[in-house]
Amino acid sequence: MLIILCLSLIVSASCLRPRIIGGEPTTIDKHPHQVSIHYNGKLMCGGSIISKQWILTAAHCVYGGRLQLFKVRIASSYHDEGGVLIESIDSIIPHEWYDDDTYDYDVALIKLTKPLSLDRNTKIITLATPSTSVKPGSTTVVTGWGKTSVNGASSKVLRVLMVPIIDQEVCRKIYARHRIVTANMLCAGYITGAKDTCQGDSGGPLVYNGVQIGIVSWGAQCASVGYPGVYTRVSAIRSWITKRANV
Let me know whether 144 and 201 are in one domain: yes
The verdict on 159 and 223 lying in the same domain is yes
My answer on whether 161 and 231 are in the same domain is: yes
Q: Average pLDDT in the 173-184 region? A: 94
Which amino acid is residue 198, in one-letter code?
Answer: C
CB burial of residue 115 (10 Å; 0-12, 13-18, 19+) = exposed
Tell me whether strands 159-166 and 24-25 are parallel, antiparallel or unpaired: antiparallel
**CATH at residue 168:** 2.40.10.10
Which is it for strands 126-127 and 211-220: parallel, antiparallel or unpaired? Answer: parallel
Alpha carbon of 35 to those of 18, 38, 42, 66, 224: distances in Å? 14, 10, 14, 19, 26
> Where residue 97 falls among pLDDT bands split at 50, 70, 90?
very high
- Domain membership of residue 153 as a residue range: 125-236
Considering the domain architecture, whether residues 160 and 111 belong to the same structural domain is answered as: no
What's the pLDDT score for residue 159? 93
E strand or H helix at 111:
strand 108-112
- Number of domains present in the structure of the chain: 2
Q: Does 137 share its domain with 228?
A: yes
Q: Which residues are catalytic?
A: 60, 106, 202
Q: Quick check: helix, strand or coil at residue 136?
A: coil
- The pLDDT assigned to 11 comes to 46
Average pLDDT over residues 98-116: 98
Higher pLDDT, 227 or 183: 183
The predicted pLDDT at position 63 comes to 94
Q: Is residue 8 part of a domain?
A: no
How would you class 154 by CB atoms within 10 Å of its CB: exposed for 0-12, middle for 13-18, buried for 19 or more?
A: buried
Domain-embedded: residue 10: no
Structural contact between residues 70 and 39, judged by C-beta atoms closer than 8 angstroms: yes
